[in-house]
C-alpha cells in the first residue's frame, strides 16, 4: 500500500514540475498534454506492476485499483458502468476483469483524460503569457 501511494506522490510531483518547466519554455499546449498523458501512463504501468505483485499474494488487492478512481473521476465512473455491464453480460475470468480490464481502461482512457487536462492547462498558461506580453508593450 505504501508503494502505490509513493507512485501517486511521485506522479503529482512530476506533474507540478512539468507545468513549471512548460510555463518557462515551450509555447505549444500539446506538449504539456502529452507530458501529462505519458506521466499518467507510466503511473498506471508502475501501479499495475505493484498491484499484480500483490494480487499474487492476496486476491483482494485488486481493490488497489480503487485508488485510481479519485484521480480519474470521469473515466473511472465510466469504467464502473462498463464493468457492471461486462459482468452482467458474460462469464468472466477473475484476472481479466479485476486486473487486465482496469489496467487497459485506466491506461488508455485515463491517458486521454490527462492529455486533455494538460492541453487545457497549456492553453491557459499560453493565454496568460500572451496577455502579459501585450501589457509590457
Query: Which residue, 60, 58, 61, 56, is CA-closest to 4?
Result: 61
* The pLDDT value given to residue 8: 76
* The pLDDT value given to residue 137: 52
Question: Is 21 inside any structural domain?
Answer: no
* The pLDDT value given to residue 133: 55
Q: What is the pTM of this model?
A: 0.76
137 residues of the chain, pLDDT tens digit each: 566 677 777 787 888 887 777 777 767 888 888 888 888 888 888 888 888 887 777 777 777 777 777 777 777 777 777 767 766 666 667 777 777 888 888 888 888 998 998 899 888 888 876 665 555 55
Q: Which domain, by its residues, includes 66?
A: 2-13+27-136
* The pLDDT value given to residue 1: 57
| CB-CB neighbours of 25 under 10 Å | 8
113 near 75, Cβ under 8 Å?
A: yes
Residue that the C-alpha cell 464493468 belongs to: 83
Question: Is 20 inside any structural domain?
Answer: no
Question: Is 49 inside any structural domain?
Answer: yes
Question: Is 65 inside any structural domain?
Answer: yes
Question: Is 60 inside any structural domain?
Answer: yes
State the total domains in the chain: 1
Question: Is 18 inside any structural domain?
Answer: no
Question: Is 85 inside any structural domain?
Answer: yes
Amino acid at each position: 500500500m505504501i508503494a502505490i501511494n509513493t507512485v501517486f506522490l511521485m506522479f503529482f510531483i512530476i506533474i507540478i514540475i512539468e507545468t513549471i518547466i512548460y510555463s518557462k519554455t515551450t509555447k505549444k499546449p500539446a506538449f504539456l498534454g502529452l507530458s501529462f498523458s505519458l506521466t499518467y501512463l507510466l503511473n498506471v504501468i508502475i501501479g499495475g506492476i505493484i498491484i499484480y505483485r500483490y494480487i499474487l499474494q492476496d486476491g483482494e488487492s485488486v481493490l488497489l485499483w480503487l485508488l485510481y478512481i479519485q484521480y480519474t473521476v470521469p473515466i473511472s465512473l465510466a469504467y464502473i458502468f462498463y464493468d457492471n455491464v461486462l459482468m452482467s453480460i458474460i462469464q468472466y475470468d477473475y484476472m481479466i476483469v479485476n486486473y487486465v480490464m482496469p489496467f487497459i481502461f485506466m491506461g488508455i482512457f485515463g491517458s486521454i483524460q490527462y492529455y486533455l487536462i494538460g492541453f487545457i492547462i497549456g492553453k491557459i498558461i499560453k493565454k496568460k503569457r500572451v496577455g502579459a506580453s501585450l501589457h509590457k508593450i
